[in-house]
Amino acid sequence: MDLTPQVINEIEFSMARRGYDPDQVDEFLEKVAVAVADLNTGLAEARERVAAAERRAEEAEVKASQRPERVVEVPAEQSASAAAVAAEAEAELETLKRTLVLAQRTADAAVKEAEVEARRIVGAAEADARAAHEDTRRRLVDELSTLEVSRDSLRDDVRAIERHLDEQRLRLRGSIAELQRILEDPSRLKAATPPAAVTDPVPVPKP
């Protein structure tokens, strides 16, 4: 994908916890887009100047080739002046070519720097997102372990209470049966042994 000002302006980064400030990222991308646009404009202007210089040089060569018979008739001063103009045009052409090469290198360096910085920002945001996800996962695992321990403890308390209730239920049934027999045969009252009082404490659930 070519890194053009439009691509830089339209690029979007996914949001992540504890990632980079979106406003700072947008500001950086806006500056990069402006710099790339300026470089592209400079390159276009330099290319146009080079093309114009090349056209002028070609036109001069064509004119010179079309009038070979007049070369001998041209005075020395005019020949020197024409040579100077040609040399100046050639020098200007070389200067423009060097300017174009330098501008191209500068643009390539700016684009490369922008790509590196964009990859760094994305990589850092992804790393922060992974770290946040891992912290959340670890916290959930710890909370789940704590809940499982509490659940097992409550189950033990419930089983202890159920056993105590079963024992008291059996004792109560025995006492009721004994009282029923006494009611049916009052003579058994003197010989009957009083039912044992319930003295076992009810298990208290663990906090």
Q: Where are the domains of the chain?
A: 5-70+78-149
The count of residues in the chain is 207
Residue 13: name the closest of 118, 111, 130 by CA: 118
d(CA 31, CA 23): 12
pLDDT of residue 16: 52
pLDDT of residue 203: 54
pLDDT of residue 71: 45
pLDDT of residue 179: 84
Contact 49, 73 (CB under 8 A): no
pLDDT of residue 48: 79
Q: Between the CA atoms of 166, 172, 177 and 182, what dihedral angle is there, to the nearest 10 degrees?
A: 160
The angle that helices 22-66 and 76-184 make with each other, rounded to 10 degrees, is 160
Contact 125, 19 (CB under 8 A): yes
Low-confidence ranges of the chain (pLDDT < 70): 1-22, 24-25, 28, 57, 60-83, 85-86, 89, 188-207
pLDDT of residue 135: 87
d(CA 102, CA 42): 11
d(CA 50, CA 97): 7
- Cβ contacts of 182 within 8 Å, gap of 6 or more: 188, 189, 192
Contact 18, 132 (CB under 8 A): yes
pLDDT of residue 72: 46
Per-residue pLDDT tens digits for 86-127: 677 677 778 877 887 887 788 788 778 878 888 888 888 888
